[in-house]
Structure 1
C-alpha cells in the first residue's frame, strides 16, 4: 500500500489527512502529491505533503534480529593477500 499524507490548515488548526493507493499505483500517488503541492503553491493552506509505502514484496519481518551465526562482517581485511568482492572484468 502507498499512502499520501498531508495537513490542511483551517482557523489556525492543522488537520491531518491521508489517501491510500494500491501498491502498484505509485504514478497515481505521485500525481496526487504533486496536485496537493500545486494547490499549496496556489495559496491553499496545505503543508507537510509526504508519501510512505509499505510494499508487501519489499517488507521483511518486523523487528530486529541477531545476525546469523555464520555472518562474518569486518571492516578491515584480516589478511590483505585475500581479495575481497567479486572479480571484475572479463574472464
Structure 2
C-alpha cells in the first residue's frame, strides 16, 4: 500500500491531507504527487509532499530493532 501525505495552508492554519493507493499502483501515487507539486509550483499553498509505503511482504518488522540472537554478521573486508 502507498500513502501520499501533504499539507495545505488555509485560513491561517495548516491542514494535513492524505490519499491511499493500492500496492500495485505506485505509478498512480507518483502521478498524484507530481500533480501536487505542479500546484505548488503554480503558487498554491501546498507543502510537505511525501510518499510512504508499507510492504506486506517485508521480511522483518518495520522500524529499528535489535538483530535476532542467531544473526552473525561479519565484515567482508579485513583491514
TM-score w.r.t. the length of structure 2 is: 0.82
Offset of residue 61 of structure 1: 2.3
Change (3 A) 1:76 1:27: closer
- The list of structure 1 runs, each at least 4 consecutive aligned residues, that deviate by more than 6 angstroms after superposition, is none
**Structure 2: 5+ residue stretches without partners:** none
**Structure 1: 5+ residue stretches without partners:** 81-91
Q: Flag the structure with higher strand content.
A: 2
Aligned residue-pair number: 78
Offset of residue 64 of structure 1: 1.5
- 5 Å-filtered alignment, 1:1-80, equals 1-58=1-58, 60-62=60-62, 64-69=65-70, 71-74=72-75, 77=78
Offset of residue 29 of structure 1: 0.1
Cα offsets for 1:27-54 (capped at 9, x unmatched)? 0000000000001111111000000000
Q: Pick the structure with greater CA Rg.
A: 1
Aligned residues: CA RMSD: 2.2
Question: Quick one: higher RCO (CA 8 Å, sep 6+), 1 or 2?
Answer: 2
Offset of residue 55 of structure 1: 1.4
Offset of residue 76 of structure 1: 5.3
